[in-house]
Amino acid sequence: MNKIETSVDEHFEVVQAPQIVSAELATSDVGLIDFARKAGKNIFSVIPDATRTQNYLRGPANIHYVCDPEMITELLAGVGRNFPKSQFTRNVIGPAVGNGMILAEGEKWRAQRHRYAPLFAARNLPVLTSHFAATGDELADFFALANGEVDVADAAQEATLANISRVMFSGNEAVAKRDIRDGMRRFTDYISYMSLFDLMGLPKWLPRLKWLRSRKVITDVRKLTRDVIEKRQSKKNIEAEDFLDLLIEALETDQEDIETTIDNLLTFVAAGYETSANTIAWGLYLLAVFPDVQERIRQEILIASSDGPIKFEVLPQLPLLQAHVKETLRLYPAGALFARDATETTDINGITFKKGDVIMFPVYSLHRNELLWDKPDEYSIERFINKKYKRGQYIPFGDGPRICIGAQYAETEIMVLLASVLRKVSFTLTEHPVAPPNLTFTMRPGGPIILNARRV
Ligand code: HEM
């Protein structure tokens, strides 16, 4: 985590409007050639802006964009519940996460989901919370010591990686934590680099830009993961102590092959590290824009737990913080777009999805859709205080059988890290502009998010 050197440009006029940054969606039709060129850098630039004002839109080729809660629920949890993950997702992240849970289908997926569900069960959350609280205190100390400008996006990534090291590879001295973290960072950077030819379902023989990049990153990280598993197998804990022990149990008792175990470990890293980190970074950014809410939340945390590690039992006493996390995930959903391929022709609410069509769920647009939300681009935690929304309107973690298995893990992690930090440190905006979000594999901040951190 690096402290940012302050350099104030004398010619730069400091303007701090209480407006929040939004993604730049496509305001005009995107031709096929432009589509590939633009989306390879940022998928937002090809998602039609009209997805924020309409509930259904036909895209280029065989693509549908769905922003209607009823249709979404039907597609994810009803008639379309068994539609597979789209081929483009498979092409983009397949080389990295192989047959892990995100991409597995049918019986293979069911077996994995069943096997790993206990890892994410509610009964494990108190223990996970103690790991998250240890990282939370370190993060709070880091910000307090910085006492000036810091890149909160970078710091949040370090923190969620530290959590993954603690929870998944606890006490693994054989492989240096630094190596694990560096390997995982390079790995997630690699998979974030999308090929839009994949998105468009263009023929396999067309060269993908991604192929020009070295696959060494993947081979290295797989070797590192295999080392971690083998070292732990040779020095096993009698009682399972962390995710790695449980993964090894699956390997030994269910005869899961080691390649699938590696796939799943990498799946949990790929799906769980940047997503949580970015939510924390956007959450801190929003609180810097709205200092009054920040102060209300700080008081709530101080009343519930003024000192010592944040405990799991404290979380229900933090309804304002919880509403803030929900509102952050509405405005900046890390899984801003996901997709399915229709495997049979299906009619829903007058729309025909033909066999082979690609169904896009542009979560970002759904969460800011004018037909569904009052003042959709404005931040308000009141939206999530004693309010319920119809199913399919708010889906930061998806829905149906493929709903995020890590949702509770993530919500707990984000709450604990934010609570640990906010009671010790306050955040304000700086003159450094915050870039609009960018969408590749997940939605990321378009650059550093530099805020002023001050010990409270
Ligand atoms: C803020 C944090 C997170 C967000 C916004 C998020 C979002 C999502 C979404 C939208 C999906 C569904 C994708 C689809 O239906 O195609 C998903 C699936 C998944 N997520 Fe998360 N996720 C988060 C954190 C995590 C964490 C912490 C983990 C694990 C440690 C995780 C593991 C997974 C896995 C394994 C799947 C695939 C589940 C399946 O297909 O059965 N996620 N996530």
Instruction: Write out pLDDT tens, residues 279-333.
Output: 999 999 999 999 999 999 999 999 999 999 999 999 999 999 999 999 999 999 9
Q: Hey, what CATH class is 32-455 in? A: mainly alpha
- Is the sign of the CA dihedral 389, 391, 392, 397 positive or negative? positive
- Give the C-alpha separation, 150 to 5, whole Å: 9
Atom of ligand 1 nearest to the CA of 278: 1
pTM (2 d.p.): 0.90
Q: Within the chain, which residues score under 70 in pLDDT?
A: 1-17, 31-33, 35-40, 92, 95-96, 169-178, 180, 188-215, 236-241, 254-255
Nearest to 444 by CA among 289, 210, 278: 278
Q: What is the CA(45)–ligand 1 centre distance, in A?
A: 23
Q: What is the CA(81)–ligand 1 centre distance, in A?
A: 16
Which protein residue's CA is at the shortest distance from atom 41 of ligand 1?
Answer: 402
Which residues approach ligand 1 with their CB closer than 6 A? 85, 101-102, 113, 267-268, 271-272, 275-276, 279, 333-335, 338, 396-398, 402, 404-406, 409-410
Atom of ligand 1 nearest to the CA of 410: 27
Mutate to test the pocket of ligand 1, among 404, 409, 414, 444 (most ligand atoms within 8 A of CB): 404
Atom of ligand 1 nearest to the CA of 112: 41
How much is the pLDDT for 250?
72
Domain ranges in the chain are: 32-455
How much is the pLDDT for 196?
46
Q: What is the CA(270)–ligand 1 centre distance, in A?
A: 9
